[in-house]
Amino acid sequence: MLRDFNLLATTSRGFEDAACSELWYLLGEIGDSAPTVDRTGVSGLIAARTVLSPFDVIEKFRKILHERPYEFRYMLRIIPIEKVVRTDLGEIQRVATELSLKIGANETFRVTVEKRFTQFATRDIIEVATANIERNVDLNNPNKILLIEVIGGLTGLSVIKPEEILAVMKEKL
């Protein structure tokens, strides 16, 4: 599995290879001449490394999706990842604290944990990740999301606005 990914994409089970090809092609379309795209070992989940900003990728993919929705046949969601660390509660806390500086003093946030192939409890991950974050929580309508994607021995983290995840099916309609 790719260890330094900055994008995750979901697809239907069994379509990982097609989704890898689609993601690789679309990254090329927006200017990355040598992206790396690979399966993660988790059904329906692929990882990618691009030289482009993952946030710019989401923006450019959204534009393509609205102009040419037929380009998106296999990917369901595309998620920007800012930092990847080994799956260790101390590392998760360190990076979550660092990334939390992106949450303004008057902004609210929530934590979303997606975990695969780990024995850590979601509650434990949330507790350590938020231990040093002194911002108000809003579970329903947050300004920012602290996203924690655990994939076995690696964990990707991001602080994003809710609209910075590209949900293909929702936006195709």
Sign for the CA dihedral angle at 61, 169, 6, 128 comes to: positive
In the chain, count H helices and then E strands: 5, 10
Q: What angle do CA 34, 150, 112 make, to 5 degrees?
A: 105
CATH architecture of the domain with range 7-82+161-172: 2-Layer Sandwich (3.30)
Give the sheet arrangement for strand 75-80, strand by strand. Answer: 36-39, 45-49, 7-11, 75-80, 166-167
**The CATH number of domain 86-160, selected from 3.40.1280.10, 3.40.190.10, 3.30.2130.30, 1.10.3720.10:** 3.30.2130.30
d(CA 140, CA 81): 22
Instruction: For the chain, 173 residues long, give each residue's pLDDT as a single digit of tens.
Output: 899 999 999 999 999 999 999 999 999 999 999 999 999 999 999 999 999 999 999 999 999 999 999 999 999 999 999 999 999 999 999 999 999 999 999 999 999 999 999 999 999 999 999 999 999 999 999 999 999 999 999 999 999 999 999 999 999 86
Residue type, 34: A
Provide the residue ranges of all domains of the chain, joining segments of one domain with +.
7-82+161-172, 86-160
Q: Quick one: pLDDT at residue 172?
A: 83
